[in-house]
């Protein structure tokens, strides 16, 4: 294997690919990136056996071949190389020489025979949408995923096609995030898959903020593929039946307030500082023509504050885990939100005032 490639291109490729490697892997070969040079293209591959990443860059190819190199040191080295062409050359015993004008580095490579085989991309995609759109959808839902392994299906984000919309849903049993995107092109087949949080997190890091570039989604044999830029990103799907979330989203409300998003977030962050009642972080709402927030930590102190709101419907008292509300608000980027209540023991709905495509549901905490 021998090729020339610019330092910048190679660094981008390696930085993306190394996201597929688990720092906790106990299988030595999986802490490496596989490089394969064929047909004038360099393919970089990584996997933690749950997600796989494949990155393709065109290079100035001299001789084809393949090798596995340790990911961490390879990333560090290429990051610190000068911004000039890099000459990459492998000897027969899988040792690799990485050269630029004044630098020569030798790295010990490994045989590729034991590297896992990668799932094959299906022939046709199910849907496509702009990268930036998907990135925003993930941002508004992924945080609501459960971190408890007892119900695996809740540890991922549900991707679901309804008509010509893609819905993303995540819930941990205490809250639920729901985001809709109307697709420009009707999807080619139905879809209902739950994608693990880890895959979502890595995908968010790799996706770029580009409304012009499209990402294609494919599904086959319990594997989902995201194809974009030079990347094929795949993940296993979580098996199991996602709970029937539509039933718990209330259609009516008895109380509805409109409030400034940032002001509410700041107020709750402040209330959270003095909200430790035992193990719970409790903020109480008294909804009237003004919103009163109170919190209390025994032996430390207490807080009360007022927030101007537009209210429709009945007065109400209700209490929440402060963090669940701030998690939601910090992912909403419109200036005002609605909060809708049906009673002190019923879930609260949070919706942006502009846009019909997002809603968030939070269960209250019963206080004595």
Q: Which residues bind a copy of itself (CB under 8 A)?
A: 70, 73, 76-77, 80-82, 102-108, 266, 269-270, 273-274, 299-307
Which of residues 8 and 76 has its CB atom nearest to a copy of itself in the complex? 76
- Distance in Å, CB of 82 to a copy of itself, minimum: 8
Element (H, E) at 211: none
158-166 CB contacts, 8 Å cutoff, 24+ apart: 158/192, 158/193, 158/194, 158/242, 158/245, 159/191, 159/192, 159/193, 159/194, 159/195, 159/217, 159/224, 160/191, 160/192, 161/126, 161/127, 161/187, 161/190, 161/191, 161/192, 166/127, 166/129, 166/137, 166/191
- Distance in Å, CB of 284 to a copy of itself, minimum: 14
**How big is the CA angle at 147 (ends 150 and 318), to the nearest 5 degrees?**
100
- Distance in Å, CB of 181 to a copy of itself, minimum: 35
User: Within 13 Å and on the Cβ side, how many CA atoms surround 42?
Assistant: 28
Which of residues 67 and 195 has its CB atom nearest to a copy of itself in the complex? 67
Which of residues 98 and 154 has its CB atom nearest to a copy of itself in the complex? 98
- Distance in Å, CB of 144 to a copy of itself, minimum: 24
Please, where are the H alpha helices in the chain? 7-17, 71-80, 131-141, 197-206, 261-273, 322-329
Which of residues 69 and 129 has its CB atom nearest to a copy of itself in the complex? 69
Minimal CA–CA distance to 215: which of 197, 234, 196, 194? 234
Which of residues 62 and 273 has its CB atom nearest to a copy of itself in the complex? 273
* DSSP assigned state of 238: B
Which of residues 102 and 366 has its CB atom nearest to a copy of itself in the complex? 102
- Distance in Å, CB of 328 to a copy of itself, minimum: 19
Q: What is the DSSP string of 135-176?
A: HHHHHHHGGGS---TTSGGGGEEEEEEETTEEEEEEE-SSEE
How far is residue 4's CA from residue 89's CA, in Å, rounded to a whole number? 9
- Distance in Å, CB of 265 to a copy of itself, minimum: 11
- Distance in Å, CB of 70 to a copy of itself, minimum: 7
- Distance in Å, CB of 304 to a copy of itself, minimum: 5
Which of residues 27 and 73 has its CB atom nearest to a copy of itself in the complex? 73
Tokens of 39: 């047909």
How far is residue 129's CA from residue 161's CA, in Å, rounded to a whole number? 13
Tokens of 289: 């023509």
- Distance in Å, CB of 106 to a copy of itself, minimum: 5
Which of residues 20 and 70 has its CB atom nearest to a copy of itself in the complex? 70
Q: Which residues contact 136 (CB under 8 A, 6 or more apart)?
A: none
Which of residues 102 and 241 has its CB atom nearest to a copy of itself in the complex? 102
């Amino acid at each position: 294997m021998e090729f020339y490639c610019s330092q910048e291109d190679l660094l981008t490729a390696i930085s993306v690919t190394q996201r597929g490697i688990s720092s906790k892997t106990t299988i030595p070969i999986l802490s490496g990136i596989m490089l394969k040079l064929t047909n004038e293209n360099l393919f970089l591959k990584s996997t933690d056996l749950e997600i796989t990443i494949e990155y393709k860059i065109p290079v100035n190819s001299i001789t084809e071949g393949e090798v596995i190199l340790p990911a961490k040191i390879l990333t560090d080295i290429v990051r610190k190389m000068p911004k000039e062409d890099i000459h990459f050359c492998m000897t027969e015993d899988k040792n690799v020489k990485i050269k630029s004008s004044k630098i020569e580095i030798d790295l010990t490579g490994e045989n590729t025979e034991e590297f896992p085989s990668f799932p094959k991309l299906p022939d046709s995609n199910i849907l496509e949408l702009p990268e930036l759109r998907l990135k925003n959808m993930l941002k508004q839902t992924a945080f609501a995923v459960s971190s408890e392994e007892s119900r695996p299906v809740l540890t991922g984000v549900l991707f679901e096609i309804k008509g010509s919309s893609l819905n993303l849903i995540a819930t941990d049993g205490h809250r639920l995030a729901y985001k809709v995107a109307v697709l420009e092109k009707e999807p080619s087949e139905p879809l209902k898959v739950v994608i693990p949080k880890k895959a979502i997190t890595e995908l968010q890091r790799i996706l770029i903020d580009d409304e012009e570039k499209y990402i294609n989604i494919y599904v086959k044999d319990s594997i989902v593929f995201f194809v974009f830029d030079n990347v094929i990103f795949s993940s296993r799907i979580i098996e199991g039946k996602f709970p029937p979330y539509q039933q718990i989203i209330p259609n009516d409300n008895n109380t509805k307030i409109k409030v400034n998003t940032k002001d509410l977030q700041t107020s709750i962050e402040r209330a959270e500082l003095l909200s430790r009642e035992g193990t719970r972080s409790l903020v109480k709402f008294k909804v009237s023509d003004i919103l009163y927030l109170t919190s209390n930590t025994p032996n430390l102190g207490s807080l009360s504050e007022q927030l101007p709101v537009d209210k429709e419907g009945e007065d109400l008292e209700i209490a929440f885990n402060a963090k669940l509300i701030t998690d939601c608000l910090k992912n909403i980027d419109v200036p005002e939100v609605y909060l809708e209540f049906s009673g002190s023991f019923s879930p609260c709905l949070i919706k942006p005032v502009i846009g019909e495509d997002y809603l968030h549901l939070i269960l209250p905490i019963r206080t004595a």
